[in-house]
Amino acid sequence: MRIRIVDAFTDRPFAGNPAGVLLLDTFPDDGRLQNIALEVNHAETAFAHPLPGGGEADWALRWFTPAVEVAMCGHATLATAHVLHSTGAHRGPVRFATRSGVLVATPGEDGEITLDFPTAPLTPVDVPEGVAEALGAVPLTAFDTGPNIGDLLLEVADEQTVHALRPDIEALAAHSERGVIATARAENPALGYDFVSRCFFPNVGIDEDPVTGSAHTALAPYWSERLGRSALTGLQASPRSGRVRTEVRGERTLLAGRAVTVIEGDLLV
């Protein structure tokens, strides 16, 4: 069983968000998938197998953190598409059958891959009691991001506040299904990004996710409305860091980035 580690939403190794990728003939039992994801111990491990021709999708795709299976994952989808294209296992746009419906990944001639994901529905909510203390900053606004993501989206005062966050991860776990997205407008858009974010997901075993494609299905519509443009670039300011180009198209959001394979080997058990 071939296994690869791919850094996603980056054009260089040891940056972006690492994901395990395994291309299979079929899915083994869930316990085995979870054990492999725990062994890989990255934010997500993606498992994919080809589907019969003539259907609505080309490959089945599932994502597991070290703790649980998740309903949507952007960076591991990008990583899987990168492996399919770089190995020749699939050419052209690839349609993935997932728990979040059919997701399409389209390679560009320059090596960038564009993902077509459902736009997260944003519902304004009151800032939950205790979340400011848990986050370590006072939110300006709060939004529920809907069932596919299950996060609480919080805008804070400025970019420097996002960089400086040192949240109480255990306390944050009480405030959403998956975790918390903290965001602010970019201080200097001339640096090539329009907004900044950090993502904390204690309820799925991830204290801080390096670069989160799925979170950008909520960040993109939020900032597109605020900034008056459908196409934006987000910087996720984790220690590894990475950029996600976004474009909101109504009920769908495009997420674009690159990926680099850094490790390839065999799973022996």
Residues catalogued as catalytic: 44
Supply angle C-alpha 260, 197, 242, rounded to 5.
15
Partners of residue 105 on adjacent β-strands: 94, 115
Does residue 223 contact residue 198 with C-beta atoms inside 8 Å?
no
Burial of 163 (0-12, 13-18, 19+ CB in 10 A): exposed
**Concatenated DSSP letters for the chain?**
-EEEEEEES-SSTTSSEEEEEEE-SS---HHHHHHHHHHH-SSEEEEEEE--TTSS-SEEEEEE-SS-EES--HHHHHHHHHHHHHHTSS-S-EEEEETTEEEEEEE-TTS-EEEEEEPPP-EE-PPPTTHHHHHTS--SEEEE--TTT-EEEEE-S-HHHHHH----HHHHGGGSSSEEEEEEE-S-GGGS-SEEEEEEEGGGTEEEESS-TTTHHHHHHHHHHHHT-SEEEEEE-SSS-EEEEEEEETTEEEEEE-EEEEEEEE---
Cα gap 86→100, rounded to integer Å: 25
